Amino acid sequence: MIDQIFRTVNDPSAMAAVLAAIAAMATVITLGMPLLAGDGLEKRMKAVGAERSKIRARERERMARGERKGLKREPKAYMQNIVSQLNLTKHLGTQDAKERLQTAGYRGQGAMVAFLFFRLVAPLVFLVVALIYFFLIKTYGWPPIARVGIAVFAAYAGMKAPEIFLKNKTQKRQQSIRRAWPDALDLMLICVESGMSVEAAFRKVADEIATQSVELAEELTLTMAEMSYLQDRRTAYENLGARTGLDTVKSVGTALIQADKYGTPVSTALRVLSQDSRDTRMMEAEKKAAGLPPKLTVPMILFFLPVIFIVILGPAYIQVTGLK
Q: What digits encode the pLDDT tens for the residues 290-323?
A: 888 888 888 888 888 888 888 888 888 888 876 5
Number of Cα atoms under 13 Å in the Cβ half of residue 205 = 28
Q: In this structure, are 207 and 311 located in the same domain?
A: no
Which residues contact residue 278 at a Cβ distance below 8 angstroms, ignoring those fewer than 6 apart?
Answer: 182
Based on the fold, state whether residues 303 and 284 are members of the same structural domain. Answer: no
Q: Does a structural domain hold residue 306?
A: yes
Confirm whether 112 is domain-assigned.
yes
What is the rounded distance in angstroms from the CA atom of residue 69 to the CA atom of residue 209? 20
234 and 321 assigned to the same domain? no
Residue 239 lies in a domain: yes
pLDDT at 10 over 70: no
Largest interatomic CA distance in the chain: 141
User: 219-278, pLDDT tens digit by residue?
Assistant: 888 888 888 877 778 888 888 888 888 888 888 888 888 888 887 788 888 888 888 888
The answer to the question of residue 44 being in a domain is no
In a domain, 59, yes or no: no
Q: Based on the structure, what is the number of domains in the chain?
A: 4
Q: Is residue 149 pLDDT above 80, yes or no?
A: yes
Statement to judge: residues 184 and 272 lie in one domain: yes
> Are 113 and 156 in the same domain?
yes
Q: Do residue 162 and residue 185 come from a single domain?
A: no
Q: Give yes or no: residues 158 and 184 share one domain.
A: no
Residues 129 and 185 in one domain: no
User: What average pLDDT score do residues 124-130 get?
Assistant: 89
Q: Quick one: 194 and 265 in the same domain?
A: yes
Q: Is residue 115 part of a domain?
A: yes
CA–centroid distance for 229 within its chain: 18
Given a cut of 80, is residue 43 above it in pLDDT? no
Does residue 285 carry a pLDDT above 70? Answer: yes
Q: Are 19 and 9 in contact (CB under 8 A)?
A: no
Tell me the CB-side half-sphere exposure of residue 4, using CA atoms within 13 A: 1
Same domain, 23 and 92: no
Give 3's Cβ-side CA count (13 Å radius).
Answer: 0
pLDDT value, residue 272: 83
Residue 99 shares a structural domain with residue 147: yes
Q: Is the pTM of this model over 0.75?
A: no
Last residue of a domain, one of 126, 153, 175: 175
Q: Which domain covers residue 8, as residue numbers?
A: 1-31
Q: Is residue 280 part of a domain?
A: yes
Q: Which of 141, 156, 175 is the last residue of a domain?
A: 175
Tens of pLDDT, residue by residue over 215-235, are 888 888 888 888 887 777 888
Whether residues 208 and 299 fall in one domain: no
CA 218 to CA 210: how far, in whole Å? 8
